[in-house]
Amino acid sequence: MFLFGFLLHYLITKFSDFQLACLGSFFLHESVFFLFGLPFIWFERAEWLSKYKIQ
């Protein structure tokens, strides 16, 4: 918890609200996008979805 508080304080003091909103929304979007697709990457590697492939 201490590390999170330190990081939050650092970000608030070093960056503007606009920068935090832009970068925060970008990183949030990218992490959700990647993590949402990760199970399907695992399924394809395990060949559980091989019969559903589009030619």
Which pLDDT score is estimated for 9? 93
More confident residue, 46 or 34: 34
First and final C-alpha spacing in the chain: 49
CA atoms within 13 A on the CB side of 17: 0
pLDDT, position 55: 64
Q: What is the pLDDT of residue 1?
A: 76
pLDDT band at 50 (very low <50, low <70, confident <90, very high): confident
Q: Give per-residue burial for 39-53: e unless 16+ CB within 10 Å, then b.
A: eeeeeeeeeeeeeee
